[in-house]
Amino acid sequence: IEGSSYTWELLNPAPIEFEAQAAEPSDRFPRLLFTAIPPAGVAPKVVSFSSWDQFAARYSRDIAPLSEPDEAIKREAARAAADLDWFAKVRAIAVLVRNDVRYVSKAFGTAGYIPRASGETFSSLWGDCKDKGTLLRAMLTSQGIESYVTLIGMNGRYNASDRVAVNSRFDHFIVAVVV
């Protein structure tokens, strides 16, 4: 410990030997998770969250404007959902986004967490899970169907900690529909 800096070292770790059905080598080393919350009155240089509720509220607030449907999205959603019951509308819109928008992975920088605006995804017809999910939400919203974002960890390597709210635990964005 030196001032407010802490240093940890892992010296001479045991070699990792292959074992059938064993955890990934990266999961066999210890991890240190932390969040830095600055003193009162000091603006943070990096956003930290003291709870998952705080993380969810901030993420929802930041991406909400991106799923606002423009006129082209409203027209296409109305066309896809014309004369259908509620469940059939949800399915038709989901199938449209699944089939007509090409999946392109963008897992770097802020593109790893923040989707493009729904109109941009709709006009380009490509996007990653966040982009496609944001477009899906815009189309559903235009039809009066309530939905929300669910972030999940698909790779199975990380579990979300109850104590440390960090977005690096998630690698996939899906949409849940309120029934």
Tokens of 103: 């999946």
Q: For 17-25, what is the mean pLDDT?
A: 71
Q: The pTM is what?
A: 0.72
**Which residues are paired to 177 by β-bridges?**
147
Q: Which of 44-53, 55-64, 131-140, 143-152 has the lowest mean pLDDT?
A: 44-53
Q: Which two tokens stand for residue 39?
A: 């003193």
Residue 45 pLDDT? 57
Q: Which residues pair with 152 in a beta bridge?
A: 172
Could you report the per-residue pLDDT of 148-159, keeping only the tens digit for each?
998 887 766 556
pLDDT tens digits, 97-146: 999 999 998 765 555 678 999 999 999 999 999 999 999 999 999 999 99
**93 near 136, Cβ under 8 Å?**
yes
**pLDDT higher than threshold 90 for residue 71:** yes
- Calculate mean pLDDT across residues 79-97: 97
Query: In 3D, which of 157, 168, 173 has the Cα closest to residue 67?
Result: 173
